[in-house]
């Protein structure tokens, strides 16, 4: 291991076919009023809404609802939830949905007791420390990929300023418990499923490509990448294969519950570019990541050559015989590209809704982190965007 670390994750996970029954055990631990946060129609059409409402009713809870949380949740939607928490003195925010719903719930939780200042400006733009009380959040996950069910991330899009901002809050913001039933993901469309798996893979790669060594975390990441690849192949053929969907689900949680970032510097530049792509196009997060990843890795691999060689051989099984390091590394990125094609992952920004005119604005507004193998300039970001247009 390289960097020092302290590790703490307070989220209780209830995983499996019968995991919703744990909601009955958890609910008595919280006060009377629950804000139920969910998306547009998925949980009503697949019956999850009715099951959750039955459990809330048995527990005698007063339920306030915030519905219609959209993918890439907006500041306005979050503030609608803030108003509800303030008006009804909510004791628990229960998110039922994908990463967008869970992120919106966390955003509401962080913002509801932030007084005297706009919470978005304070926490998502100025990155000030969290100093107000938070409302406990819990989640029932129905779409897999972000890892939001076991971390402090909350990504909110400010539509007026066209800024999609990710904030990682401390453990007090993590869901108190998350219920993960892989069967709930059977109704997720193939498009969203592959987008979610690429998101998981991107989280793993952002953490992996950040130093040259191969510590325990790197070994873990390689295994999770292989599991994501193998299980997506199975789920594409048989979407209701329980084992494949449960492996995909747990991979996603492990990929961003901070375990796979321990002792690593971590890159996250691909996410920074995608967030601005998302702010302009409202594309599915995983698809935007896939588009940007390929030209980005082809630009930076030379600066992290040994790690890209390792990625090629350990994750994709690229043979080394008679090849230079450079050839091996590039074959690894080619294998990643072939996998995106095989899985139907969209890698063209134009297909994701971008126009040529948007690209300079996306490039200019992208945050440059500088933790990866090569610190980009905004001009290089523009080149990347043009390459995957
Ligand atoms: O709106 P509904 O009807 O609920 O439909 C949703 C939505 O259209 C649908 N869906 C969810 N569960 C379903 C289902 N459809 C059928 N059956 C089900 N069981 O799926 C669509 C996409 O949902 P969404 O929540 O947007 O997807 P995802 O989980 O990929 O979340 C994406 C958001 O998370 C952020 C992204 O930037 C994006 O805003 N991220 C959050 C992170 C975090 N908190 O740590 C990290 C990630 O890197 C990411 O940035
Ligand atoms: Zn992501």
Nearest CA, atom 49, ligand 1: 146
Candidates 218, 200, 198, 220; CA nearest to 209 is 218
pLDDT tier, 322 (very low <50, low <70, confident <90, very high otherwise)? very high
Contact, 200 vs 252, CB < 8 A? yes
Closest CA to 352 of 294, 289, 300, 308: 289
Containing 158, the helix (H) or strand (E) segment is: strand 153-158
Mutate to test the pocket of ligand 1, among 46, 155, 261 (most ligand atoms within 8 A of CB): 155
- Is residue 382 predicted with pLDDT exceeding 90? yes
For residue 211, what pLDDT is reported? 85
The Cα–Cα gap between 291 and 302 comes to 20
pLDDT of residue 11: 98
End-to-end distance of the chain based on CA atoms, in angstroms?
Answer: 39
The binding-site residues of ligand 1, defined as CB within 6 angstroms of any ligand atom, are 39-42, 46, 71-72, 97-101, 103, 142-143, 145-148, 151, 153-155, 166, 184-185, 187-188, 192, 196, 199, 256, 271, 285
Q: Per-residue pLDDT averaged across 140-162, rounded?
A: 97
Give the chain's length: 389
Per the prediction, the chain carries an average pLDDT of: 97
Question: Which of 71, 73, 159, 174 most suits a substitution to test ligand 1, by most atoms within 8 Å of the C-beta?
Answer: 71
| Distances from the Cα of 48 to the Cα of 43, 169, 184, angstroms | 5, 28, 8
pLDDT digits over 70-103, tens only? Answer: 999 999 999 999 999 999 999 999 999 999 999 9
Looking at the CA of 289, which ligand is closest? 2
Ligand nearest the Cα atom of residue 145: 1
Q: Which of 49, 51, 77, 98 most suits a substitution to test ligand 1, by most atoms within 8 Å of the C-beta? A: 98
pLDDT in tens, 323-356: 999 999 999 999 999 999 999 999 999 999 999 9
**Structure letter (DSSP) for residue 350:** T
Q: What is the DSSP letter of 74?
A: B
Confidence of residue 272 (pLDDT cuts 50, 70, 90): very high
Residue nearest to atom 7 of ligand 1 (CA): 71
Q: Give residue 293's pLDDT band: very low, low, confident or very high (50, 70, 90).
A: very high
Specify the pLDDT at position 8. Answer: 95
* 138 phi, psi to nearest 5 deg: -135, 160
Angle at 219 between CA 337 and CA 266, to 5 degrees: 70
Query: Which residues crowd ion ligand 2, with CB under 5 Å?
Result: 199
Q: Which atom of ligand 1 is nearest to the CA of 199?
A: 48
Q: What is the pLDDT of residue 1?
A: 66
Residue 255: DSSP 8-state: H
Å from CA of 285 to ligand 2 middle: 7
Q: Taking residues 244-256, report their average pLDDT.
A: 98
If 0-12 CB within 10 Å is exposed, 13-18 middle and 19+ buried, where does residue 172 land? middle
pTM attached to this predicted model: 0.97
- Across 117-140, average pLDDT: 96
Do 151 and 257 touch, CB atoms closer than 8 A? yes
Report pLDDT digits (tens) over 158-217.
999 999 999 999 999 999 999 999 999 999 999 999 999 999 999 999 999 998 788 999
Q: What is the pLDDT of residue 3?
A: 86
Q: Are strands 12-15 and 163-168 parallel, antiparallel or unpaired?
A: unpaired
The sheet with strand 33-38 has its strands ordered as 12-15, 177-180, 137-141, 92-97, 33-38, 62-66
Whole-number percent of the chain with pLDDT over 70? 100
């Amino acid at each position: 291991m390289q960097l020092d670390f302290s590790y703490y994750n307070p989220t209780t996970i209830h995983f499996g076919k019968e995991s919703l029954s744990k909601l009955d055990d958890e609910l008595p631990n919280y006060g009377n009023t629950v804000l139920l946060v969910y998306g547009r129609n998925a949980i009503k059409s697949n019956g999850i809404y009715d099951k959750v409402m039955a459990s809330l009713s048995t527990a005698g809870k007063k339920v306030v609802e915030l519905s219609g949380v959209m993918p890439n949740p907006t500041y306005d939607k979050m503030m609608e939830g803030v108003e509800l928490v303030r008006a009804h003195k909510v004791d628990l925010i229960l998110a039922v949905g994908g990463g967008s719903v869970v992120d919106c719930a966390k955003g509401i939780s962080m913002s509801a007791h932030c007084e005297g200042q706009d919470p978005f400006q304070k926490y998502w733009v100025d990155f000030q420390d969290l100093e107000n009380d938070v409302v406990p959040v819990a989640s029932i996950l129905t779409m897999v990929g972000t890892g939001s069910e076991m971390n402090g991330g909350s990504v909110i899009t400010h539509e007026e300023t066209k800024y999609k901002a990710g904030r990682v809050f401390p453990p007090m913001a993590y869901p108190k418990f998350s219920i993960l039933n892989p069967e709930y993901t059977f109704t997720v469309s193939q498009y969203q499923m592959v987008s979610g798996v690429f998101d998981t893979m991107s989280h793993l790669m952002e953490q992996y490509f950040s130093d040259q060594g191969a510590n325990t975390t790197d070994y873990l990441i390689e295994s999770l990448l292989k599991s994501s690849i193998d299980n997506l192949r199975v789920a594409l053929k048989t979407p209701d294969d329980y084992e494949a969907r449960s492996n995909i689900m747990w991979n996603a949680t492990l990929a961003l519950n901070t375990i796979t970032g321990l002792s690593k510097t971590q890159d996250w530049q691909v996410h920074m570019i995608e967030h601005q792509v998302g702010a302009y196009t409202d594309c599915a997060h995983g698809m935007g990541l896939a588009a940007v990843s390929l030209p980005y890795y082809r630009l930076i691999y030379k600066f992290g050559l040994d790690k890209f060689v390792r990625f090629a051989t350990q994750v994709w099984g690229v043979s080394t015989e008679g090849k230079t390091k450079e050839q091996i590394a590039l074959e690894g990125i080619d294998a990643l590209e072939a996998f995106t094609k095989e899985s139907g992952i969209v890698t063209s920004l134009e297909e994701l809704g971008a126009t040529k005119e948007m690209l300079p604005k996306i490039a200019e507004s992208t945050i440059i982190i500088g933790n990866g193998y090569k610190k980009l300039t905004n001009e290089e970001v523009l080149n990347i965007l043009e390459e995957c247009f």
